[in-house]
Amino acid sequence: MKKRIILHIDMDYFFAQIEERENPQFKGKPIVVGADPRGGKGRGVVSTANYEARSFGIKSATPISRAFRLCPQAVFLPVNMDFYEKVSLSVFKIVSKKAKKVEKVSLDEAYLDLSDKCRSYKEAEKVGEEIKKEIYKKERLTCTVGIGENKMMAKIACELAKPDGLKVIKPSQTKKIIEEMPLETIPGIGPKTKEAIQKYLKKKNAKIKDARKIKKEKLIDLFGKRGDDFYHKLRGVDNSLVEGERKAKSVGKEHTFQKDTRDPEKIIKVFRRLVGDVYRQAKEEKIKGLVVVCRFEDFETHTKQASFEPGNYKEDFLYKKGVSLLLRFLTRSNKKIRLIGFRVSLPE
């Protein structure tokens, strides 16, 4: 593979930072954006916490009732998504000017492929500085930038530099830098995989360098296809591309309910319409899969997907497949639903 320079940008504690900016009176206080804590009895989770709140052990996805117990004096704020989306648009306007290929990961995170634009890491670092400066000038918000030879290393550099930082990991440093890091630094290695690796190594708190001792065949034996991927990632190799045109590979639509609801009839009726709209847009295309999105009242967002052989499928087929996924959201949680979405993926 051709040598690449990849930049990862991540806004610092995005939602909470926006709230700090909008409410200077809260500056310096722990701020938790997320579900309503209702005196510790609320349901739902923390969406974002600022660093003051994090020092109490509160993080994204912490149950809101637990966050309240950890720090009752924190400022608890509801998620003002429409506003954060506007800020995100303005941030992305700046970011997308810096590279031809920009992959938006979420409202506040993106990868840029700078390989064509920059001949050296020095040049890429300058681009990173510009991005930080321009975002701050326009939005008065800080972000962190990481630069590396691939997406994984750019992301790791970014994690190491948070908050308000900029870090470059050159290819010559890659192997050494990740050697001492915990296994879960590798994307795809979660608690379960980590445990399996440690069990195999008979070693607690195994680090990346320990797992490098496992032969490729053994990793494949243990984890199938993922094992092959881990083998490379443990050595700092990640060939995944920055997918700039990712959006064009799918057609989709979302609907936000006026009022959060759990009424299945209402939800399914809207869903039927979404499927119809998407079907008409994608009719001429071969379809290879579908995704159902569900955002609950506390903004926790989940997706379920199905994939099939690329082909021209009928609307009814897509609806039946989709609705069976949708029903799982309805039966598995008793939270109200704020938004549902449907999209189909098209072959590249």
Supply the minimum distance, in Å, between the C-beta of residue 86 and Mg ion.
17
Does 103 participate in catalysis according to the annotation?
no
Residue 92 parent element (H or E): helix 81-95
> For Mg ion, which is the closer residue by CB, 10 or 297?
10
Exposure pattern of 322-331 as b/e (b: 16+ CB <10 Å)?
bbebbeebee
Supply the minimum distance, in Å, between the C-beta of residue 135 and Mg ion.
12
Residue 304 parent element (H or E): strand 301-311
> For Mg ion, which is the closer residue by CB, 10 or 149?
10
Supply the minimum distance, in Å, between the C-beta of residue 106 and Mg ion.
8
**Cβ-based burial of 3 (10 A; exposed 0-12, middle 13-18, buried ≥19):** exposed
Q: Two tokens at 208? A: 């990346």
Of 52, 85, 103, 109, the active-site residue reads 109
Residue 261 parent element (H or E): strand 250-261
Cα separation, 11 vs 238, in Å, equals: 23
> For Mg ion, which is the closer residue by CB, 48 or 174?
48
> For Mg ion, which is the closer residue by CB, 10 or 229?
10
Supply the minimum distance, in Å, between the C-beta of residue 333 and Mg ion.
25
Cα separation, 153 vs 38, in Å, equals: 41
Q: State the DSSP code for 143.
A: E
Peptide bond preceding 163: is omega within 30 degrees of 0, i.e. cis? yes
Q: Which residues bind Mg ion (CB under 5 A)?
A: 10-11, 14, 108
Supply the minimum distance, in Å, between the C-beta of residue 10 and Mg ion.
4
- The SS3 call for residue 72 is coil
Beta-strand (E) ranges in 99-156? 101-106, 109-113, 143-148
- The amino acid occupying position 104 is K
End-to-end CA distance of the chain: 20
Supply the minimum distance, in Å, between the C-beta of residue 128 and Mg ion.
16
Q: Any bridge partners for residue 182, and if so which?
A: 207
The catalytic residue positions are 109
